[in-house]
Amino acid sequence: FVNALQCILASDQTYVNLAKSYISVEAKSKIVNEFRGLILNQVFNYRRFNMDNFSPVVKFWVDFLVLVPNWTTNLSVLKLLDTLCQVSLFEPRAIQQLKEVFTEQQKVIRDKCTKGGLGGLLTWVSSGTGQYSSLLERSFTSEVPWFALFVLTCEMQEEIRSGLWKRVLRYLHNDPMTSIDICL
């Protein structure tokens, strides 16, 4: 199923590459828009599947979309996730499921970047590379606002849970002459 999903998403990208100069901005994602319609049809007609709400449909699609290799840099996948995030704002169970999936995916990416260390944020701050392990690709953020909202919410909750900034601020308050590098 994931291979079929990859082929569908790749066909849209191939179409765009072949016909770049002949298509409008709206038509750029014709196949993705059709696929989006299919997903929305399933979401809005959840009663046909004998469900109480649409959160299982959202979970089903999100679970498969995050299996696409390099999904965080695939704009087609991100647009579909953005659609799922947008419709999920009306269903608390779907919101919770999305947050759980994105939090888990954030942990997977952070573990890949840090090899299980203290976290992507510490690595990012101390290395000075400018590469922070996040699900958000900066260049796509404006095109997927609902997805960005969910990811930023998950990252903020992780920051609060870890208590990193509180500890850094407390350390700096106790010893103002200390550098941030030493605090971390």
**CA nearest neighbour of 147 among 102, 104, 92, 93:** 102
pLDDT higher than 80, residue 12: no
Distance CA 142, CA 54 (A): 26
Q: What is the pLDDT of residues 37-52, one digit of tens each?
A: 999 999 999 999 999 9
Q: What is the pTM of this model?
A: 0.74
Task: Give the pLDDT confidence score for residue 122 in this predicted structure.
Answer: 52
Number of domains in the chain: 1
Tell me: the pLDDT tens digits for 56-111?
Answer: 999 999 999 999 988 888 888 999 999 999 999 989 999 999 999 999 998 888 77
pLDDT of residue 22: 44
Q: Is the backbone of residue 69 left (phi > 0), alpha (psi -120 to 50) or beta? A: beta
Assess whether pLDDT exceeds 70 at residue 142: yes
CB-based contacts of 108, cutoff 8 Å, min separation 6: none
Which among 12, 105, 102 has a CA at the least distance from the CA of 58? Answer: 102
State the pLDDT at residue 171: 82
Q: Is the pLDDT of residue 128 over 50?
A: no
Question: How many other C-beta atoms lie within 10 A of the C-beta of residue 31?
Answer: 17
Please, is 168 exposed, middle or buried when counting C-beta atoms within 10 Å of its C-beta (0-12, 13-18, 19+)? middle
**If you average pLDDT over residues 22-37, what whole number do you get?**
68
Q: Which residues contact 91 (CB under 8 A, 6 or more apart)?
A: 53, 54, 55, 58
Q: What's the mean pLDDT in 147-167?
A: 87
Which residue segment(s) compose the domain that 40 sits in? 2-183
54-58, 61-65, 137-141, 147-151, range with the lowest pLDDT = 137-141
Q: What pLDDT does residue 134 have? A: 76
Give, in order, the Cα–Cα distances in Å from 28 to each of 21, 77, 84: 10, 14, 20
| Residue 87 near residue 43 (C-beta atoms within 8 A) | yes
